[in-house]
Amino acid sequence: MGRLPATQAFINYAYFDEARLFDRGSVNGYIVNVDQPGHADRVSAAIDALFANSSAPTRTQSEQTFKLNILRRIGDIGLIVGAVLGAVLFTLLLVAGNTMVQAFRERIPELGVLKTIGFTDGAVALLFVTESLLLVAAGAALGLGLDAVLIPQLFKQAFGAPAPMPVETLLTGGASALVIAVAVALIPAWRASRLSVVEALAVP
């Protein structure tokens, strides 16, 4: 038998039930394992049907639903997570946008040289879009990678079992990073494409 988590303990039920002062003869819940995941709904309905007319009707649900219900007792998790993500995305837009604008200002003479040797306006603009994509993609990959590793461990510490990050979350994070990268590159790319060679080379 492996080492038990610090949050779990095993005790003889009859001994415990005899010693407690209230709710004798009752339990808070049972954990039932099914042979196949597809049988979960049928087994749950059968269990609830057995106790439908008793003094203690049951509410059988999956482990994932049980964990989500516990989280909902803390508060509106969706609202909290949405507010945090909104603040993070807004901050990311400001930081990445400022970085790209600063990069444009510092490279004005270089842009003039590139246009002089034959780079088109579209090619110069594409350079800024590519740089923005690399900048934001690196941060997104690092953040999503850490989340994929840490979040299951946080669930394991809180509920005793890890909960892997859904693939939809990773895809949404990647798509959001792509949108942010394009958004922060629009103004520098547009200014770079409109920049004339004379104006660019006149900047000290």
- Cα R_g (the chain), whole angstroms: 29
Contact 133, 178 (CB under 8 A): yes
Q: Is residue 145 located within the same domain as residue 79?
A: yes
What pLDDT digit, counting tens, does each position of 16-60 carry? Answer: 888 888 888 788 788 888 888 778 888 888 888 888 888 778 888
For residue 25, give the DSSP letter. T
Residue 56 sits in the same domain as residue 125: no
Identify the band that residue 152 occupies on the pLDDT scale cut at 50, 70 and 90.
confident
Per-residue confidence (pLDDT) for residue 2, from 0 to 100: 53
Residue 66 in domain: no
Residue given tokens 């819940």 in the structure block: 29
Total number of domains constituting the chain? 2
67: in domain: no
Q: Is residue 8 part of a domain?
A: no
Q: Does some domain include residue 1? A: no
Mean pLDDT of 158-186: 77
pLDDT of residue 92: 76
Examine residue 4 and state whether it is found in any structural domain, yes or no: no
> Nearest to residue 184, comparing CAs of 141, 136, 120?
136
pLDDT at 200: 72
Q: Are 115 and 200 in contact (CB under 8 A)?
A: yes
Residues 54 and 135 in one domain: no
| 173 in the same domain as 78 | yes
Q: How far is CA 27 from the centre of its chain?
A: 35
What are the DSSP calls for 36-68, one per residue?
Answer: SGGGHHHHHHHHHHHTTTSSS------HHHHHH
Domain-embedded: residue 3: no
Are residues 53 and 93 both part of a single domain?
no
Would you say residue 53 lies in a domain? yes
In a shared domain, residues 83 and 180? yes
Q: List Cα–Cα distances, 107 to 90, 180, 190, 191, 200, in angstroms.
A: 26, 22, 14, 12, 9
What whole-number distance in Å separates Cα of residue 27 and Cα of residue 25? 7
User: Confidence band (pLDDT; 50, 70, 90) for 163?
Assistant: low
Residue 130 lies in a domain: yes
Asked whether residue 192 falls in the same domain as residue 94, the answer is yes
Q: Is the pLDDT of residue 111 over 80?
A: yes
Looking at every residue in the chain, the average pLDDT score rounds to 79
Judge if 79 and 54 occupy the same domain.
no
Based on the domain organization, do 179 and 145 belong to the same domain? yes
Same domain, 171 and 195: yes
Buried b (16+ CB within 10 A) or exposed e, 109-136: eebbebbeeebeeeebbbbbbebbbebb
Question: 134 pLDDT exceeds 80?
Answer: yes
The domain containing residue 154 runs over which residues? Answer: 72-202
- Residues 111 and 138 placed together within one structural domain of the fold: yes
140 and 177, same structural domain? yes
